[in-house]
Amino acid sequence: MRWFSSPDKPLKLEPFVDFEQFEAYRKGDKAFIVDVREPEELVTDGEIPKAVNIPMGMLEQAFVMDSSLFKDTFHVDKPKPSDPVIFLCLKGIRAKTASDFVQEQYKYENTSVYTGSFADWIERKQPSK
């Protein structure tokens, strides 16, 4: 069984999710989360737990991989086109491009964009002053 699937009722994502929605999906393992930033950005800026890094330059290659190669490369099961997939980047622009791309090219029908992306997430995760 896929960790983000529910045998009861499949989760249908809205086209965009905010911080609270994103955190609920992330913490509850209810969506496959793709961070399309470059690996260097994750090193310098940080990363979001449970997000799989598939840089924009690898997106096409990743989504044409068979399930076995995808798992060997990214160490997680490849999402099915009907699975909920949330894309993020630094501010949301590349994430929107990625979401549109996998919808159009690979018929992924349940994608969303975390609108604030990493910049919003890190700002909200900082302790209050």
- For the question of residue 89 being annotated catalytic, the response is yes
Q: Would you say residue 93 has pLDDT above 90?
A: yes
73: tokens are 């490369």
User: What is the structure's pLDDT at 103?
Assistant: 96
Summarize pLDDT for 56-78 with one digit per residue, the tens: 999 999 999 999 999 999 999 99
* pTM score of the predicted model: 0.90
User: What is the structure's pLDDT at 11?
Assistant: 80
Q: What is the CA radius of gyration of the chain?
A: 14
Q: Would you say residue 127 has pLDDT above 90?
A: no
Q: Would you say residue 3 has pLDDT above 50?
A: no
Please check whether residue 112 is in contact with residue 31, taking contact to mean a CB–CB distance below 8 angstroms.
yes
Of the residues 48, 59, 89, 102, which is catalytic?
89
Q: Find, among 51, 22, 19, the residue nearest to 35 by Cα.
A: 51
Domain spanning 16-86+106-125, CATH class: alpha beta
- Each domain of the chain, given as residue ranges in start order, spans 16-86+106-125
Q: Would you say residue 44 has pLDDT above 80?
A: yes
